[in-house]
Amino acid sequence: MRFLPLCILTILVSCASPPQQMTIIAHRGASGYLPEHTLESASMAHAFNPDFIEPDLVMTKDDVLVVLHDIHIDTTTNVAKVFPKKKRKDGRYYAIDFTLKQLKSLKVMERGNVKSGKAIYEDRFPRGRANFEVATFREFIELVEGLNKSRKMNIGIYPEMKSPSFHRQNKKDILKETWKVLNDYGYTSGKKKIFLQCFDSSALKEFKKRFNPKFPMIQLIGDNSWKESPDDYTKMLTPKGLKEVSSYAQGIGPWFPQLIQPVGRSYRITPLAKVAKSLGLKIHTYTLREDSLPEYVDSVKGLSVILAREGVDGVFTDFPDRIRE
């Protein structure tokens, strides 16, 4: 690993130009400013001119794809107040137990702590204010494409299939439903701007086998403690693991500390980017947040400069207006 002292790091970042060629993905829309995954958040993101806007996908009881980050909905809606009896034995409320009509009756809010009810990011949009609702994947696509037409832009979509194994256990085929919607809107032709992402390697392999997509797929890489999928991400991050990824995906989406590890107020570069690039894999890392930065940098723009210098092709950010400003 390479180690950069703070003094050198400060000079490099302050003198560097913004990474104009870096792919900017609006993470859950403009989620640093408006409640994540709402159509309002996607609209604001579009106005910032990112390259892509990200919708996370889960399924409803009546088989509709909706745009939510989690399979459970109590962190971003008032479900406990509206449907107090619909929680499972673990005390959580799951999107898959609700029809679209029921989900549409909920109020979407800034993400909060389930136990305390307090916002995760206190300086963001006031929790519980205004009226936002759950959006469907079709509504999201039609919004982005409508704004592309009226604004004469070509901003792409970057959907993530959430927890395929959970959906399978609940007799839902999220792969089939995702393909169906993408096909209905012409994204399976390979002519529209799209990346498809997932944390579950078996799901991406199955998706490739079943549908032979003409668009690129990204293998997301998390930390094993998050339990995002049955995968062992420690093994996936090895040269052997990355070579396996290159057999079914066109890129990786690692957590940025897997690329640059903090060491006090400085950092070390890991071998990940170099190995991934040697295998021809694109690197789109997550998540750059202006209100949650490591000590070695003071802005998402500065962090993106460091990442670009190490060969990272794109970044997910809650603040898509800050990278190229």
Alpha helix positions (H), 212-286: 233-236, 239-245, 272-278
User: What integer pLDDT is reported at residue 8 of this predicted model?
Assistant: 46
Q: Quickly tell me which residue has 């449907």 as its tokens.
A: 83
Terminal CA-CA length for the chain = 31
- Known catalytic residue at 37: no
pTM attached to this predicted model: 0.94
User: What local confidence, expressed as pLDDT, does residue 163 receive?
Assistant: 99
Backbone angles phi, psi at 242, to 5 degrees: -70, -35
- Specify which residues 208 forms β-bridges with: none
pLDDT at 233: 99
Judge whether 76 and 66 are in contact, CB under 8 Å: no
- List, run by run, the mean pLDDT of 10-residue segments along the chain (325 residues): 48 51 97 99 99 99 99 98 98 99 99 96 97 99 99 99 98 99 98 99 99 99 97 99 99 98 94 98 99 96 96 98 91
Cβ atoms of residues 27 and 287 within 8 Å: yes
Rounded to whole angstroms, the Cα distance separating 75 from 126 reads 14
| Long-range pairs for 120-126: beta carbons < 8 A, 24 or more residues apart | 121/32, 121/289, 121/291, 121/292, 123/291, 124/32, 124/33, 124/291, 125/33, 125/34, 125/35
186 to 56, 148, 191: CA distances (angstroms) = 19, 15, 8
CATH homologous superfamily of domain 2-70+134-317? Answer: Phosphatidylinositol (PI) phosphodiesterase (3.20.20.190)
The answer to whether the beta carbons of residues 51 and 45 sit under 8 Å apart is: no
The arrangement of strands across the sheet holding 2-4 comes to 2-4, 266-269, 260-263
Which one of the listed residues 37, 46, 69, 72 is annotated catalytic?
A: 69
pLDDT for 5 equals 52
Distance of alpha carbon 55 from alpha carbon 207, whole angstroms = 18
Task: Give the per-residue pLDDT at 19.
Answer: 62
Active-site pick, 27, 37, 46, 284: 27
Contact present, 122 and 32 (Cβ < 8 Å):
no
Alpha helices in 132-256 (DSSP H): 137-151, 164-169, 174-184, 201-211, 233-236, 239-245
Active-site residue 27, yes or no?
yes
- What pLDDT, on a 0 to 100 scale, did the predictor assign at position 20? 67
Predicted pLDDT at 12: 47
